[in-house]
Amino acid sequence: MGRKLLLEKAHVPGIATYEVYRREGGYRSVEKALQSMSPDQVTEEVKKSGLRGRGGAGFPTGMKWGFLAKPEGVPRYLVVNADESEPGTFKDRYLMEFIPHLLIEGMITASYALGSNRSYVYIRGEYAWVAEILEKAIDEARANGWLGKNILGRGFDCDIYVHRGAGAYICGEETALLESLEGKRGNPRIKPPFPAVKGLWGCPTVVNNVETVAAVVPIINEGGEEYAKIGMGKSTGTKLISACGNINKPGVYEIDMTISVEEFIYSDEYCGGIPAGKKLKACIPGGSSVPILPANLLLKTAKGETRMMNYESLADGGFATGSMMGSGGFIVLDDSQCVVRHTYSLARFYRHESCGQCSPCREGTGWMEKILWNIETGKGKISDIDLLWDIQRKIEGNTICPLGDAAAWPVAAAIRHFRDEFEWHVLHPQEAQQRNYGLMHYADPIHVPNPVMA
Amino acid sequence: MSLCFSADKLKEVQQIIARYPEGRQKSALLPVLHLAQQEFGGWLSTEAMDYIASLLGLQAIEVYEVATFYSMYNLKPVGKQVLEVCQTGPCMLNGSEAIVAYIYERLGIRPGETTADGLFTLKTVECLGACGYAPMLQLGKNYREHLTREKIDELIAAASDRPVVATT
């Protein structure tokens, strides 16, 4: 049983209310930071903690804070990214629904470190009821003196506002989010300048994911060095994983990044295995954008080592044989699922969500969707598979924001690892309408060259 | 102009504007459009968008370009109940296609269509962040999760039997 830092108290009855949250030790990090630390010391603890952005990119949070420009007389902003729209990801919603004050507390402490007197939560529009939960928590925090003017008599002013989006995956990209918060279309900005220099309304801004900001609370309470002791290598602390797809126990799990992928899928403490006696075929371990892996490469790396649930191990082998931790959206496919149809579904998602600014993404996502639909419905050609590969190559890296990469990677990985399933659809169009390809060799042990033998 | 918020809602608009620094009231556009859609029959007509533009001191085009970008704003009239079924990967793995088919069987509407009595509109939507509770749909402000045929029956019955209030 791993350590829990964020969700440990998430199921204490009444924890969504201020009274219970405070009674359970809530808002201690604000007291500690404001009463005994300078803003720079708070940032220093976050740097020591090794915390990496939990939204998907995994960029060191303390370093991101360190980049924030601090010109005299210009307001600075903290904006929390609660747009959570990456398919497979529903962890931030869980945290905000069950323990909203943890986010508010983290925001106050982070706002103090960054010098933000007015901070925003940008929440996806569909989470309307979650926005109400947060607003209630903010009102309670304000009524109890944690927000407003001169908090704890330390001369620090801070207020927090919730801003609802209106349905656009792209607004999870930080500059699109800022555009949206300014009341515009969510078109990502060209960088540089980065938000740390020119962000919200042209002012220096830090955009952090919900889980990242919540993690500031245990980091300040226990110290950055203590936090860094949890986990493995550069994967410090705990990570929320939202598990879904074909598993017995879908849900949100807090892991300390020292467990194996196999344990995560099969242990009753986590996903509880695959339902109905079916077998594991494939998995997208970090949200729909990251490469899909067949069962064999998911559980073991190409070197034959046990694959672990952390940033380094999930990425072991690069895109050739590995994947990414991403947002922690863990999507499991059993042996009755069709990789072609699933890839089509994701391609349709990215076509729908492309903002349309860059032609490789705008045109390429629609083109890939059409080709995948043709292959799925028995109208594909073998050359279509190569064409798909070519299109995704020409999207990747050629767009203003990473949505292009996010659309390209799932298609690339599906072809890389499941090419024979695509070919089978083309060569047996009628049979492919009646049954799925099945597990085939996707769980077979991988031949690992043994250097000792040579 | 015939379309107008009530005094209460105008107060709410002022509260929304106050969330942003002075001179940044364009930021209020998304939340105010949500409010307009809720108040003006579940969709945004050109008249409604022009009204919001005048209310926030924006050019009409600034409102149109935003309203057309975000998927939650309806630019055509919709039924009193909008069933928004998620169809993205994780929901698909758990039978979202069968849910869409069953709604067609029960109500005779395909995605994008509204029943003749104006009660229901069916929309397919992309990932709503409920992947672990699939299949799911959004109905007004709420999510309906772990959908089954029985649950679809229940929500159709509940919506048809009693006077229906426009949802937000």
Q: Kindly state whether residues A266 and A387 are assigned to the same domain.
A: no
* B21 → chain A, closest CA residue: A118
Residue A217 within any structural domain of the chain: yes
Q: How high does pLDDT run on average in chain A? A: 96
pLDDT bucket at A72, cuts 50 / 70 / 90: very high
pLDDT tens-digit profile of B19-61? 999 999 999 999 999 999 999 999 999 999 999 999 999 999 9
Structural domain including A183 reads 18-229
Q: What is the ipTM of this complex?
A: 0.94
Q: What is the pLDDT of residue B167?
A: 44
Residue-wise pLDDT tens digits, A354-385: 999 999 999 999 999 999 999 999 999 999 99
Residue A48, burial from CB neighbour count under 10 angstroms (0-12, 13-18, 19+): middle
The answer as to whether A2 is a domain residue is no
Q: How high is the pLDDT of residue A3?
A: 86
Task: State whether A54 and A168 are in the same domain.
Answer: yes
CB burial of residue A249 (10 Å; 0-12, 13-18, 19+)? middle
Question: Comparing A449 with A295, which gets the higher pLDDT?
Answer: A295
Q: What is the pLDDT of residue A447?
A: 81
Q: Is A68 a residue whose pLDDT tops 80?
A: yes
Residue that terminates a domain, selected from A168, A195, A229:
A229
Strands A329-334 and A239-245: parallel
Residues A138 and A262 in one domain: no
Residue A395 lies in a domain: yes
pLDDT at position B159 is 83
User: What residues of chain B lie within 8 A of the CB of A129, using their CB?
Assistant: 141-142
As a whole number, mean pLDDT of residues A47-66 equals 96
For residue A114, what pLDDT is reported?
98
User: Chain A within 8 Å of B9 (Cβ-Cβ)?
Assistant: no
| Residue A123 φ/ψ, nearest 5 degrees | -110, 140
Mutation target for B interface from A205, A345, A348, A365: give the one with most B CBs within 10 A.
Answer: A345
Q: In terms of Cα–Cα distance, which of A450, A439, A354, A442 is closest to A405?
A: A354
- A307 and A371 part of one domain: no
What pLDDT score was predicted for residue A380? Answer: 97
Q: What residues of chain B, 50 to 109, have a C-beta less than 8 Å from chain A?
A: 62, 65-66, 69-73, 87-90, 92-94
Residue A451's pLDDT band (cuts 50, 70, 90) = low
Neighbours of B68 (CB within 10 A): 12
In a domain, A11, yes or no: no
pLDDT digits (tens, 9 = 90+) for A203-225: 999 999 999 999 999 999 999 99
User: Given CB atoms, is B128 within the 8 Å cutoff of chain A?
Assistant: yes
Q: Could you give the number of structural domains in chain A?
A: 3
Q: Is the pLDDT of residue A454 over 80?
A: no
Instruction: Indicate whether A451 belongs to any domain.
Output: no
Do both A203 and A247 map to the same domain?
no
List CB contacts (< 8 A) between B26 and chain A.
182-184
Q: Do A249 and A354 lie in a common domain?
A: no
- Angle between helix A210-222 and A100-114 (nearest 10): 80
- The C-alpha atoms of residue A150 and residue B43 are separated, in whole angstroms, by 43
- Structural element, H or E, at residue A402: none
Give the CATH number, domain containing residue A306: 3.10.20.600
Count of other CB atoms within 10 angstroms of residue A439: 19
Which of A88, A163, A348 has its CB closest to that of B131?
A88
pLDDT in tens, A128-168: 999 999 999 999 999 999 999 999 999 999 999 999 999 99
Looking up tokens 């999760």 gives B145
Instruction: Please name the residue ranges forming H helices in chain B.
Output: 7-17, 29-39, 46-56, 60-67, 89-93, 96-107, 149-161
Considering the domain architecture, whether residues A162 and A284 belong to the same structural domain is answered as no
Higher pLDDT, B165 or B26: B26
To the nearest whole angstrom, how far is the Cα of A447 from the nearest Cα of chain B? Answer: 30
- Same domain, yes or no, for A343 and A322? no
Instruction: Calculate ∠ Cα B120-B123-B126, nearest 5°.
Output: 150
**Would you say A210 and A81 are in contact if contact means Cβ atoms under 8 Å apart?**
yes
pLDDT of residue A452: 63
pLDDT tens sequence across A222-263: 999 999 999 888 999 999 999 999 999 999 999 999 999 999
Tokens representing B146 are: 């772990």
- Which chain A residues contact residue B33 at CB under 8 A? 166
Where is the domain boundary, A209, A229, A249?
Answer: A229
Residues A146 and A249 in one domain: no
Is the Cβ pair B132, A250 closer than 8 Å? yes
Q: What is the pTM of this model?
A: 0.95
With beta carbons less than 8 A apart as the criterion, state whether A31 and A25 touch.
no
By Cβ distance, the residue of B73, B89, B128 closest to A331 is B89
| Nearest chain B Cα distance for residue A449, angstroms | 35
Q: How far apart are the C-alpha atoms of B8 and B5, rounded to whole Å?
A: 8
What pLDDT does residue A166 have? 98
- Which position has the token pair 């690069």? A318
Q: In chain A, pLDDT over 90 holds for what percent of residues?
A: 96
Q: Does A98 touch chain B (CB under 8 A)?
A: no
Residue B166 has pLDDT above 90, yes or no: no
Domain end residue (candidates: A229, A250, A282): A229
B15 touches chain A (CB under 8 A): no
pLDDT of residue B1: 52
State whether A93 and A169 are in the same domain.
Answer: yes
Lowest mean pLDDT among A95-104, A348-357, A439-448: A439-448
A3 domain-assigned: no
Same domain, A321 and A366: no
Q: Measured between alpha carbons, how far is A205 from A200 in angstroms, rounded to an integer?
A: 6
Mean pLDDT of chain B: 94
- Give, for A42, the enclosing helix (H) or strand (E): helix A39-49
Domain membership flag for residue A452: no
- What pLDDT, on the 0 to 100 scale, is given for residue B93? 96
Q: Is the distance from CB of A351 to CB of A366 less than 8 angstroms? A: yes
> Is residue A285 domain-shared with residue A387, that is, in the same domain?
no
Cβ-defined contact of B131 to A89 (cutoff 8 Å):
yes
Sheet holding B81-86, edge to edge: B120-125, B81-86, B137-139, B142-144
Q: How confident is the model at residue A344 (pLDDT cuts 50, 70, 90)?
A: very high
The answer to whether residue B164 scores a pLDDT higher than 50 is: no
Delineate the domains of chain B, giving CATH numbers in brackets.
Answer: 7-67 (1.10.10), 81-161 (3.40.30.10)
Query: Domain with A24 in it: what CATH number?
Result: 3.40.50.11540
Residue A1 lies in a domain: no
Look at residues A440, A434, A435, A433 and name the one whose alpha carbon lies nearest to residue A418: A440
